[in-house]
Every structure is written in C-alpha cells, then in structure tokens.
Amino acid sequence: MIFFYIILVLLGLFSFFVISSRNPIHSALALITVFLLASVLLFCLEVEFLALSFVIVYVGAIAVLFLFVVMMLDVKIGDSSLDFLTYVPLGYFISFTFILEIILPSANLNSFPNEVSSINYNWINWIAEIDSISNIQAIGQLLYTYYFVFFLMAGFILFVAILGALMLTLTLNKSVRRSVYFKQKMLISS
C-alpha cells in the first residue's frame, strides 16, 4: 500500500506541474510522466492492457505529438505577469466538489441497516471459474489468430501516416549542397 501512496503522491505532484509550468516543453514532459505513473498503477492493479494502451497511445502518440508541435512551432514561454489570484475561488470550489465526490460514496449513508443485512449475497470465486491467462495473452490470441489481417492493415495505415508526416515536414532548400550521383559519374568517366 505504501507503493500505491507514493505513486499517487507523485501523480498528483506531476499533474500539478503540468498545469503550473510556464515552459510548454516542461509541461509536456510532466504530462508524459503522469501517463507513465498512471500506467504503473494500472500494472499494479493487473490491468495490463489498459496500462500498455496508456503507454502506447498517450505517451507514444499524443504526448510526443505535443512535444513535436511545441518544438516545431517554437512556442515562446508564457507571460509571467498574469494574475492567477482571480481564479483561486473557482479552483477552491472545483477542488471542494471533487473531494466531496470522492468522500460521499465511501461514507456510510445507509439509513435502513435491517433491510440491507437481511439480503443473502452469494459469493462466487471467479478466479477458479475462468482460465488463468492474463489480459494481454487473451487479446494476443484473438489479435494474431482471427484478426491478423486487420492488424496488418492497421500497421500499414500507420506506416503510410508516418511517411506522410515525414514528407510534410521535409524542406528542400536550394542553398544546401547535395551530391548528384549521375553528374559525379559523368565527370569521372570523361
């Protein structure tokens, strides 16, 4: 449990750093750290597919895209003269609402204890009822047997998207000296 609390404190710290950082690159790096810490928590809860999808989709695609856009557009560091004290009451209200939403479901608000205790709940050991394969193994078995054509098509579409992004950012500059193989071959042969 101590490990969970350490990860949660780090998660809260880095998420605060995402919104409070003046440098957009530092903010994007803190966002990547938040996604990685959230995936560590999901790994500890044995939800491997969601953890890996966090790493692949959010860290591998969205956060890196934010970094590339910030670096390509050369975004300047924000103005530090903004007055954040005007937003403090709204921040306190939203924080109080979130804390209330967390505490109220866990509070004992049961006003009819006799009716609830008379219900007979049947407990089923689901671990003994199902196979003992992990989420990743089950998804892998489906993905590489029944849906392998769709998986290959998705990989090809992503490959074409990467090539398109590279071609969009490629700049051909006339001032850059390039070697032309055929001209060099003609000069050597003559």
Sequence spans of domains, the chain: 1-76, 133-171
Q: What is the mean pLDDT of residues 150-154?
A: 89
Q: What per-residue confidence (pLDDT) applies to 117?
A: 54
Distance, CA of 57 to CA of 64 (rounded, Å): 10
Distance, CA of 190 to CA of 174 (rounded, Å): 27
In terms of Cβ atoms closer than 10 Å to its own Cβ (0-12, 13-18, 19+), residue 54 is buried
Q: What per-residue confidence (pLDDT) applies to 167?
A: 79
* C-alpha count within 13 angstroms, C-beta hemisphere, residue 134: 11
Residue pLDDT, tens place only, 77-122:
655 555 667 777 888 898 889 888 878 777 766 555 555 555 666 7
Q: What is the mean pLDDT of residues 10-30?
A: 87
Q: What per-residue confidence (pLDDT) applies to 21?
A: 83
Distance, CA of 137 to CA of 11 (rounded, Å): 29
In terms of Cβ atoms closer than 10 Å to its own Cβ (0-12, 13-18, 19+), residue 149 is exposed
Distance, CA of 114 to CA of 106 (rounded, Å): 19
Closest by CA position to 11, among listed 46, 43, 40: 40
81-85, 110-114, 170-174, 183-187 — most confident range: 183-187
Closest by CA position to 21, among listed 12, 34, 31, 6: 31
Q: What per-residue confidence (pLDDT) applies to 108?
A: 63
Give the mean pLDDT of the chain.
Answer: 79
Closest by CA position to 47, among listed 128, 123, 130, 138: 138
> Whose structure tokens read 């049961």?
110
CATH architecture of the domain with range 1-76 = Up-down Bundle (1.20)
Distance, CA of 148 to CA of 180 (rounded, Å): 43
Q: Which of 13-22, 134-143, 159-168, 181-190 has the lowest mean pLDDT?
A: 181-190
Q: Is 33 a residue whose pLDDT tops 80?
A: yes
Q: What per-residue confidence (pLDDT) applies to 131?
A: 65
Q: Is 37 a residue whose pLDDT tops 90?
A: yes
Residue pLDDT, tens place only, 57-66:
888 888 778 7
Pairwise pLDDT comparison (79 vs 168), residue with the higher score: 168
Pairwise pLDDT comparison (176 vs 115), residue with the higher score: 176
